[in-house]
A and B are shown apart, each in its own frame.
Chain A
Amino acid sequence: MLPLRVRDIAKTFVMHLRGGLRLPVFSNVSFEVAAGECLVLGGPSGVGKSSILKMLYGNYGVDAGEILVAHACRPVDLAKALPREVLDVRRLTLGYVSQFLRAIPRVPALEVVADPLIALGSDRAEALERAEAALARLNLPRELWSLPPATFSGGEQQRVNIARGFISDHPILLLDEPTASLDAANRAVVVDMIEEKKAAGTALVGIFHDEDVRDRVASRVVDVSRYSQRRAGQ
């Protein structure tokens, strides 16, 4: 069973506050991702790359088609799964590094990073130790570790987000522009981390605007504009 199979998914946004305006984004998007490869979603901005990632994570609704995730040895269709099934898939199978960190008030960076391991039942001290190692590798200043990330800079928040996404051994990992606000040294760290995930057999799907990073990590590129429903000039 492939970790991830996407069949004919479609997305249209209906803006009820603008008189029910319909914004078709894409339709009939299909692809598969094998263990150990990094599939890159390509195409100009606005074609719906981020929307696809959010649909893969169960964060956006799916209008048509199916998203089959190999979850605990059986396929789960995320397009139709119940909330508690989606949450179980996220806990065990599906990791996600979003573009922006949604900071939880009062929770220190170290706990934000360790959280996915604790949710999997890991020993708390061990989870925090691994979180420290991840933040150190991404060069986040040690004095920030015990602070909530709400007041961090964009690049610091992104590194917390990356550390959190990469800390667990989820079989599938979704990456939404993980290197957008990083300097060259930290970009190189993230590229190494992606290569390690591939070597460990993780199936990755990512969006990378940085061409250099994309060329280094991509196993294949799917051009999303092929499926675009937007007319020229829209």
Chain B
Amino acid sequence: MTDAPILEVRDLAKTYGARLGCADISFDLWPGEVLAVVGESGSGKTTLLNCLSTRLAADGGSIVYAMRDGSRRDLATMPEAERRFLMRTDWGFVHQNPADGLRMGVSAGANVGERLMAIGDRHYGRIRGTALDWLSRVEIAADRIDDGPRAFSGGMRQRLQIARNLVTAPRLVFMDEPTGGLDVSVQARLLDLMRGLVRDLGLSVIIVTHDLAVARLLSHRIMVMKDGRVIEEGLTDRVLDDPRQPYTQLLVSSIPQA
């Protein structure tokens, strides 16, 4: 086990005018750890994800990130340009709707290659080779490299979005309902793929989902949110098999048994 967290969050809070987004959020994320944030819509989980990924400015608290060189930096005081570079290289963000994370007007290969060019790679042959490699890792056939995402099914688009995110070898990936809106069999294939990639690459992941089955399959730890606050957290199978809080018991007991 490594002995330093990749992300340290303390007393994070966000309000929208008088309305609470999230409050009193404190946790450490460790390298290789997958944290699921679960709760109903409106519980604050997406607000939390957007604050953590600096897509949204928090009102209070701190987020400290361990850089590749081992230095620890407070994201709130990091210059904008440096933060953008971090988001393009060291981090990934997988959106629920692939159209939010892909460029729909360019080819699959360009979608993957673009992230490489953003970190300075200019060698066309090498970029295309890496793009091909990543398309095959997400089970997209090589002969689809010049097709645009509009010609892809929902499941393929989501796999392309994952390839686009992982091509720069990020250390921390944020995911917002990545399997939402997909057919069950497509979802299973995507989950299986994500499980393998997360494990092989040793990624740290924060995944927001309302689907407890997704949380069980992918995550090591769960935080349950309600009304903007974390009401229960712990090892994923402990929270799901022995829930303590009334709201967690309600959530777990509401899962249909297939």
Interface residues of A (CB under 8 A from B): 14-17, 54, 58-61, 83-88, 104-107
Contact = CB atoms under 8 A, between A and B. Distances in A.
Interface in B184-213: 188-189, 191-192, 195
Interface string B21-32: 000000000100
Given A83-B235, A105-B188, A106-B192, A16 B220 contact: no
Contacts of A88: 1
Nearest to B196: A107
B241 interface: yes
Interface string B215-258: 00100110000000000001111100110111001100100000
Nearest to B31: A84
Q: Looking at chain B, what size class is its interface with the partner chain?
A: 20 to 34
B33 interface: yes
A217 to B, nearest CB: 27
A105 B191 contact: yes
The 5 A-B residue pairs with the shortest CB-CB distance in the complex, in nearest-first order: A16-B246, A105-B188, A83-B235, A60-B242, A106-B192
A61 B244 contact: yes
Interface of B: 1, 30, 33, 188-189, 191-192, 195, 217, 220-221, 234-238, 241-242, 244-246, 249-250, 253
B1 A84 contact: yes
B213 to A, nearest CB: 9
Contact of B249 (A15, A59, A61): A15
A131 B175 CA distance: 34
B33 A84 contact: yes
Nearest to B243: A16
A60 B241 contact: yes
A83 B29 CA distance: 11
A174 to B, nearest CB: 14
A16 B235 contact: no
B192 A107 contact: yes
Contact of B235 (A87, A104, A105, A107): A87
Given A61-B242, A83-B235, A106-B192, 14 more contacts: A14-B244, A16-B245, A16-B246, A16-B250, A17-B249, A17-B253, A59-B235, A59-B241, A61-B234, A83-B234, A83-B236, A104-B192, A104-B217, A105-B188
